[in-house]
Amino acid sequence: MRYRLFYTDGEGRRRTLSGHKNVLHGPPTRIWPDTSTLYVRLLDGHVAADEEDGAEVVAAGVLHIQLTDFARQLTTFRTTGPGGAGTLLDFGRFFAGELWEVYGPDPD
């Protein structure tokens, strides 16, 4: 899973958060550790994916989300438009399906 977020820091500098999660085929016991660990680099400027190799790294680290924080985060999801809650449910089904593809049993 790849993440890219353009933002401006508290001093008005443009930055990019570039991150990834290592979600690899394995046993279901790996779902939480794999999906709750984000490896990040903070880059100087708004940096597109194809420009990242030469970008200045401002900071780097690993972010972990605790289960209780994730549960609280789920309560912040909002939708607008005609699909409403159905759209949110569709996303949940899609996400769970993708996890099943990676961590579910191999078809024989």
**3-class state of residue 69 by DSSP:** helix
Reading the block at residue 55, the tokens are 């970008």
Please report how many Cα atoms fall inside a 13 Å half-sphere around the Cα of residue 48, on the Cβ side: 2
Alpha-carbon span 82 to 66, nearest angstrom: 33
pLDDT for position 107: 73
- Using DSSP's 3-state secondary structure scheme, residue 33 falls into helix
- Per-residue pLDDT tens, the chain, 108 aa: give them: 999 999 999 999 999 999 999 999 888 899 999 999 999 999 999 999 999 999 999 999 999 999 999 999 989 988 888 888 888 899 889 989 999 988 988 776
The rounded Cα 57 to chain-centroid distance in angstroms is: 20
User: What pLDDT was estimated at residue 32?
Assistant: 94
